[in-house]
């Protein structure tokens, strides 16, 4: 009985890691659609979203089964309960990637934003994808230390890029008008929220492993 329970917990963790990976791939495709006008990548967004929905449903079923039939406690209960918001965050990441692709396709065959804006967006995409790789690894291996580093980075590269993007569109020398500026700010928000969800997932990993919230662990580390 215990072996089956452990196997189901492992499947739950694997599905959460897969959700992070699929959300990351979805954003990679959406970013290629946006930055490189890659229609092939754009067409891959919808199938990835479908896979994300399937994994989300599997996580929900596993959580309900484990709670109803196994009555987990302590560390195991934290894993199960944390899976619900983690899966929801990964699903929202897929939705944000879809928003990026929709905006990109709306402007076809032209670029959605001018070249100087795409430089910032490409940098934000690179940061988002790199962070997604780190979070997926932390989720799959239950690495609380790695997850803490992600969750505690409140003023990381994504935040700095977001400030630079805002400075770009509010500069008096901006020559592309308010509509293009609004689209650029919206894209920046999509990538920023994507990173926020990654940070949230990382914080849930910390909690599921240690029983402490990430900010509490950080505070203890800072004073020790």
In 3D, which of 153, 129, 159, 141 has the Cα closest to residue 209?
Answer: 141
Spatial distance between the Cα atoms of 39 and 104, rounded to a whole number of angstroms: 10
Instruction: For residue 56, give the nearest of 83, 29, 82 by alpha carbon.
Output: 83
Q: Would you say residue 218 has pLDDT above 70?
A: no
| pLDDT on residue 2 | 72
With CA atoms as reference, report the closest residue to 210 among 137, 133, 147, 131: 147
Residue 213 has which token pair? 């919230």
CA angle 205-208-213, nearest 5°? Answer: 75
Look up the CATH number of the domain holding residue 122.
Answer: 1.20.58.220
> Would the pLDDT of 47 be above 50?
yes
Structure confidence at residue 1 as a pLDDT band (50, 70, 90): low
- The tens digit of pLDDT for each residue in 102-132 reads 999 999 999 999 999 999 999 999 999 999 9
Domain that holds residue 148: 2-223
Full 3-state SS string of the chain: CHHHHHHHHHHHHHHHHHHHHHHHHHHHHHHHHHHHCCHHHHHHHHHHHHHHHHHHHHHHHHHHHHHHHHCCCHHHHHHHHHHHHHHHHHHHHHHHHHHHHHHHHHCCCCCCCCHHHHHHHHHHHHHHHHHHHHHHHHHHHCCHHHHHHHHCCCCCHHHHHHHHHHHHHHCCCCCCHHHHHHHHHHHHHHHHHHHHHHHHHHHHHHHHHHCCCHHHHHHHHHHC
Q: Is the pLDDT of residue 220 over 50?
A: no
Residue 223 pLDDT more than 60?
Answer: no
pTM: 0.92
Count up the domains in the chain and report the number: 1
């Amino acid at each position: 009985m215990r072996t089956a329970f452990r196997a189901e917990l492992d499947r739950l963790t694997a599905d959460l890691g897969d959700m992070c990976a699929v959300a990351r791939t979805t954003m990679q495709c959406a970013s290629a659609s946006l930055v490189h006008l890659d229609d092939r990548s754009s067409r891959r967004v919808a199938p990835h979203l479908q896979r994300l929905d399937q994994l989300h449903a599997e996580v929900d079923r596993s959580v309900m089964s484990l709670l109803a039939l196994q009555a987990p406690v302590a560390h195991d209960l934290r894993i199960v309960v944390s899976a619900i918001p983690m899966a929801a965050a990964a699903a929202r990441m897929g939705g944000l990637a879809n928003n990026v692709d929709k905006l990109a396709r709306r402007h076809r065959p032209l670029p959605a934003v001018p070249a100087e804006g795409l430089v910032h967006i490409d940098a934000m995409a690179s940061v988002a994808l790199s962070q997604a790789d780190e979070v997926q690894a932390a989720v799959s291996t239950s690495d609380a230390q790695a997850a803490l580093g992600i969750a505690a980075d409140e003023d990381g590269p994504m935040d700095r890029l977001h400030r630079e993007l805002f400075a770009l569109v509010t500069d008096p020398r901006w020559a592309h008008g308010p509509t293009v500026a609004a689209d650029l700010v919206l894209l920046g928000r999509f990538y920023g929220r994507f990173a926020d969800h990654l940070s949230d997932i990382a914080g849930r990993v910390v909690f599921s492993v240690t029983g402490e919230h990430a900010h509490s662990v950080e505070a203890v580390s800072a004073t020790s």
